[in-house]
Each structure stands twice: as structure tokens, then as C-alpha cells.
Amino acid sequence: MRSLVLSVVGLALIAGSAHGQISELWDNNAYLRVNTAETGNRIGMDRWEIDGTNHLYNQWFWFRIGDSGPEQRISSLPEFGRSVQDTNEFIDPRPDTFNIRYGSATTYWIDVRFSLTGGAIGSGVSDVLETISVTNNSGTTLPFRFFQYADFDLNNDVVDDAVWINPFNRVWQRDGAMTVSETVVSPPPTASEVNIYPTTINALDDLLPTTLSGASVINDGIRRDYTWAFQWNFDLASGGTFIISKDKLIVPSPAAGALLGIGGLVAVRRRRR
Ligand SMILES: [Ca+2]
Ligand SMILES: [Ca+2]
Ligand SMILES: [Ca+2]
Ligand SMILES: [Ca+2]
């Protein structure tokens, strides 16, 4: 009996180590890293460097089915597969796009895709396009509560000036002249919050069901370690797919709050000529 238990534990350790992978992307002046092996708070996308300066502690995804019990990290599900791709070989022949699939053919798939676009060397500008797809394979409708959590530490130090979400589908965080913004292209989230590390990630990792608070701004002149999160609640019919599309942009300009998406990249470049 004891040896049977030990061998089961051994198999679990081997299965666990298969998740121990780091994926890397590069494009022009930008570098992005995804570390799904991490079991501490710095899980998932854990590095976004622009012109050699890191601006990200981490970003990752949690979910719950129904309104009771804890959330779980998507990386606690079985990893079905992952890949990196080069989508612009004539501009930059390194991998710029990351895909990963969690889940199973009898429950659900959770697919995540990150596409990195760098700016010109020295521009301080970069963009990440993100797509999350949840597909229900279970044969019954599932009430998903899906969470995105982001902890940017701009300019490679933990404290930043301010963070705000408005109107529930855009977020900005600023440190001096550096701003990160995110636009949720579709669909609008059900709830969101800004907070101070580690309140939100502790809520996502605890044993209770979490609903984001709606707190929309922290801008009182005190520099702190800010985080933000979005939540989507959706009933997903068997065979259905729910797709979340969004865009993150880092720009070295305090006016970046008005400059969202690729249009913002173009505007900044034009103004600098
Ligand atoms: Ca490339
Ligand atoms: Ca900072
Ligand atoms: Ca929780
Ligand atoms: Ca932070």
C-alpha cells in the first residue's frame, strides 16, 4: 500500500514538472516572458521589457465555475499544448506570438494568445494584443467567472503614481512619464477593481468566491504598488466559445491615457518627428 501511494505521488510530480516551462517573445525593442511553472504570486506573463527596462511584475488569469468555492489559476488545469510563432519574419525573425491551451476535451478548453509588437529602438513604446477563448466541451451549460489580474511595476521599480479604470473597459497606470494602458476590445467586463498589492491576488488565491469590488481609482499623490483586475461572468452553453480580446500599450508619455491602441502608437511617433 505504501509503495502504491509513493508511486502515485511520483507520477504526480512528473506530471507537475511537465508544466515547468518558460516561453519568450521578442519584437524590435521589446521582450516578453511567460512563466507558467511559478507557484508563488509571480505567475504567468512575468516580464515585459522595453528598450531593456522591465515594466511588469506579472499578469495572469483565474476562473471559477458558479458562485461558490474558490477561484483557480488557469495553469492549475492540465496543459494540453503550447507554441510560439514568428508572424513577421521580414521585420523581425524572432518569435513574437505565444499560444497555450489548458483543459480537456471532456470539460473545457481555455486558450490564451499573446502577440508582442515592439516600437523602434529607443522609442520606449510596445503593445501586446491578447485573446482568451473559453470553449465548453462538457455537454452542459457552465456558469464561468473569469478573471484577469495585472501587476505592472513601471520603470522597473515597485511603486507607481496612480491607477484608474474608466469606464469599466479601459485602465491606465502611470509612473512619471511612463504609462501603461489597457483597452478591453470586447466584451465589456462584468466587474473590475484597482487595488494595492497583494489584496486582489490574495482574494483570487483564497478559498472563498471573489467578486471584484468596482474600486476605480487610486490617485492621492502617494506612490504605491498598484494592481488591477477585470472579471467576466458568462453562462457558456455546451459547444459554445466565449472570446475576450484586449490590447495593452506602454507609452513614455503622460498623455497616453488619451492615446489607446495602435492609433496611439502612430500618434506618438508622429508627434516626435
Ligand atoms: Ca517576429
Ligand atoms: Ca515604478
Ligand atoms: Ca477567492
Ligand atoms: Ca504594481
What is the CA(153)–ligand 2 centre distance, in A? 5
Taking the model in full, what pTM does it have?
0.86
Question: Which ligand has an atom closest to residue 54 CA?
Answer: 2
| 192-241 pLDDT per residue, tens | 999 999 999 999 999 999 999 999 999 999 999 999 999 999 999 999 99
pLDDT on residue 166: 79
78, 11, 80, 73: which is closest to 38 by C-alpha? 73
13, 77, 268, 236: which is closest to 143 by C-alpha? 236
What is the CA(63)–ligand 3 centre distance, in A? 10
What is the CA(214)–ligand 3 centre distance, in A? 15
pLDDT on residue 138: 98
pLDDT on residue 150: 98
Question: Which ligand has an atom closest to residue 177 CA?
Answer: 2
What is the CA(60)–ligand 3 centre distance, in A? 15
What is the CA(53)–ligand 4 centre distance, in A? 15
Predicted confidence (pLDDT) at residue 260 exceeds the cutoff of 70: no
Answer with the residue of higher pLDDT: 177 or 63. Answer: 63
Predicted confidence (pLDDT) at residue 5 exceeds the cutoff of 50: no
Q: Residue 167 corresponds to which amino acid?
A: P
| 19-33 pLDDT per residue, tens | 458 999 999 999 999
Predicted confidence (pLDDT) at residue 1 exceeds the cutoff of 70: no
Question: Which ligand has an atom closest to residue 67 CA?
Answer: 3
Q: CATH number for 2-272: choose from 2.70.98, 2.20.28, 1.10.3470, 2.40.50.
A: 2.70.98
220, 200, 221, 80: which is closest to 137 by C-alpha? 80
Mean pLDDT of the chain: 88
Which residues sit with Cβ closer than 5 angstroms to ligand 4, an ion? Answer: 151, 153, 225-226
Residue 144 CA, distance from chain mean position: 18
Domain borders along the chain are 2-272
| 92-128 pLDDT per residue, tens | 999 999 999 999 999 999 999 999 999 999 999 999 9
Per-residue pLDDT, averaged over 84-92, amounts to 97
Q: Which residues of 219-228 are buried (b: 16+ CB within 10 A; e: fewer)?
A: eeeeebbbbb
Answer with the residue of higher pLDDT: 17 or 74. Answer: 74
Confidence of residue 254 (pLDDT cuts 50, 70, 90): low
